């Protein structure tokens, strides 16, 4: 709890644009070193000092003590289009509750994050060919098979220890990566078409594997044609993971291909036809001139009618279930072991008790309570 309170004191100080000296004066400390020790978790905040924080900083007590908040502890990188920062911040706070639940409860129920992190040996000076080679190697090393998109999330969970959550995101948000000191998380908007979901998953995987060398921006545009070099490297990596050259070779030569063929192969690979087109250009299998003759509009939704997707949870047909099985296993075990009440779990996940029970059943997890 000491480290949580310290992190939230620091986050609130920075949000209010206060220095450590300013905070020392508010608390009546002699120097800023005391504030530094509190923020780093080396010194406890007394009950009296906590009340001063509530009064002087204008934040409720729950802000400092609720373990199921992520304030000051995680760094997000959002993949979005035209989302107002205030709306994005509000959704980040909601998403932080789910991530905090995993962070707090996972170790308590015997499912901690891995001790070691993997990383790609890439930097912002790496070439696009380097990023594609890393993606090809990733697909081969983790045996993603003839349709890598089918196994990517499982490989990230099993081999990298990444928490992958399918979520009901706000309009304009397609996904995000989140880095904590002891946990990596990817959020994917489950209402995106499958090809987009899978590309975003590969893209965010790259960010987690290169976070220390190339920390991503807090907000990035959701497009395969980003002008940011780091985002371009992430796109090349994701394309290679999902569409390895050897897998594409199974479909034969690619000279002047028709729209219908691109759409057919993209559907088989669970990617977008537009991503497939540019992957073929990157591999030299399709000329730039030929690619420019193929309108992206003709490839939209892989040539199929747009899906009629609803954000009403009672109409989830065709969507991946909310969150993930590993996540729901942690929640169910925490309820069963008394680490979390049923109602607290429902509140954190923003659902009714009936919906919580139904989601457990959907993921094949034993319902840990009686309705």
The domain spans of the chain are 2-65, 325-362
Q: 270: Cβ–Cβ under 8 A, 6 or more apart, which residues?
A: 147, 149, 150, 194, 195, 198, 242
| Inter-CA distances, 70 with 67, 120, 248, Å | 8, 27, 42
Q: 324: Cβ–Cβ under 8 A, 6 or more apart, which residues?
A: 153, 157, 163, 164, 165, 166, 363
- Domain 2-65, CATH among 1.10.260.40, 3.40.1160.10, 2.60.40.420, 3.90.180.10: 1.10.260.40
List, edge to edge, every strand of the sheet that includes 163-167.
163-167, 183-189, 173-180, 75-80, 219-221
Query: Nearest to residue 204, comparing CAs of 183, 184, 180?
Result: 184
Q: How many other CB atoms are there within 10 angstroms of residue 261's CB atom?
A: 14
Strand 183-189 and strand 163-167: pairing? Answer: parallel
Report the alpha-carbon distance of residue 312 to residue 318 in Å, rounded: 13
Q: What is the pLDDT of residue 315?
A: 56
pLDDT in tens, the chain (371 residues): 667 888 889 988 988 899 999 999 999 999 999 999 998 889 998 899 999 989 988 889 988 888 898 877 789 999 999 999 999 999 999 999 999 999 999 999 999 989 899 999 999 999 999 999 999 999 999 999 999 999 999 999 999 999 999 999 999 999 999 999 899 999 999 999 999 999 999 999 999 999 999 999 999 887 665 678 999 999 999 999 999 999 999 998 876 668 889 999 999 999 999 999 999 999 999 889 888 888 888 898 898 877 665 555 555 768 999 999 999 999 999 999 999 999 999 999 999 999 999 999 999 999 999 86
List own/partner pairs for 297-304 with CB under 8 A and 24 or more apart. 298/259, 299/259, 299/262, 299/263, 299/266, 299/272, 299/273, 299/274, 300/274, 301/193, 302/193, 302/195, 302/263, 302/266, 302/267, 302/272, 302/273, 303/259, 303/260, 303/263, 303/273, 304/263, 304/267
Q: What is the pLDDT of residue 224?
A: 60
Q: What is the pTM of this model?
A: 0.89
DSSP state of 188: E
Q: What is the pLDDT of residue 146?
A: 96
Q: What is the pLDDT of residue 275?
A: 95
Alpha carbon 244 to its chain centroid, in Å, reads 23
Report helix, strand or coil for 9: helix
DSSP state of 223: -
Q: Which two tokens stand for residue 245?
A: 């050259």
Bridge partners of 177, per DSSP, are: 77, 186
Strand 219-221 and strand 75-80: pairing? Answer: parallel
């Amino acid at each position: 709890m000491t480290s949580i309170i310290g992190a939230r004191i620091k986050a609130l100080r920075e949000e209010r644009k206060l220095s450590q000296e300013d905070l020392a004066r508010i608390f009546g400390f002699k120097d800023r070193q005391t504030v530094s020790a509190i923020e780093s978790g080396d010194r406890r905040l007394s009950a009296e000092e906590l009340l001063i924080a509530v009064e002087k900083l204008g934040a409720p007590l729950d802000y400092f003590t609720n373990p199921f908040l992520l304030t000051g502890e995680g760094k997000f990188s959002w993949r979005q289009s035209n989302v107002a920062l205030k709306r994005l911040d509000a959704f980040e706070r909601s998403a932080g509750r789910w991530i905090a639940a995993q962070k707090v409860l996972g170790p308590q129920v015997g499912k901690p994050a891995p001790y070691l992190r993997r990383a790609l040996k890439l930097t912002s000076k790496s070439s696009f060919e380097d990023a594609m080679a890393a993606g090809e190697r990733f697909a081969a090393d983790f045996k993603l098979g003839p349709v890598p998109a089918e196994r990517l999330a499982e490989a990230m969970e099993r081999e990298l220890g990444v928490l992958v959550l399918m979520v009901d995101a706000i309009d304009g948000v397609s996904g995000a990566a989140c880095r904590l000191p002891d946990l990596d998380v990817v959020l994917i908007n489950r209402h995106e078409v499958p090809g987009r979901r899978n590309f975003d998953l590969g893209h965010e995987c790259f960010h987690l594997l290169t976070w220390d060398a190339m920390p991503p921006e807090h907000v990035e545009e959701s497009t395969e044609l980003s002008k940011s070099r780091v985002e371009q490297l992430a796109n090349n990596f994701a394309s290679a993971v999902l569409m390895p050259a050897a897998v594409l070779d199974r479909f034969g030569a690619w000279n002047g291909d028709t729209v219908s063929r691109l759409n057919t192969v993209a559907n088989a690979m669970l990617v977008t036809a537009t991503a497939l087109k540019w992957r073929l250009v990157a591999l030299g299998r399709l000329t730039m001139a030929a690619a420019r003759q193929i309108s992206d509009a003709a490839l939209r939704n892989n040539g199929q009618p747009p899906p009629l997707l609803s954000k009403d949870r009672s109409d989830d047909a065709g969507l991946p279930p909310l969150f993930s099985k590993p996540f729901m296993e942690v929640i169910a075990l925490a309820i069963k072991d008394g680490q979390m009440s049923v109602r607290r779990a429902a509140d954190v996940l923003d659902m009714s008790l009936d919906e919580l029970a139904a989601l457990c059943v959907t993921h094949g997890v034993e319902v840990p309570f009686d309705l």
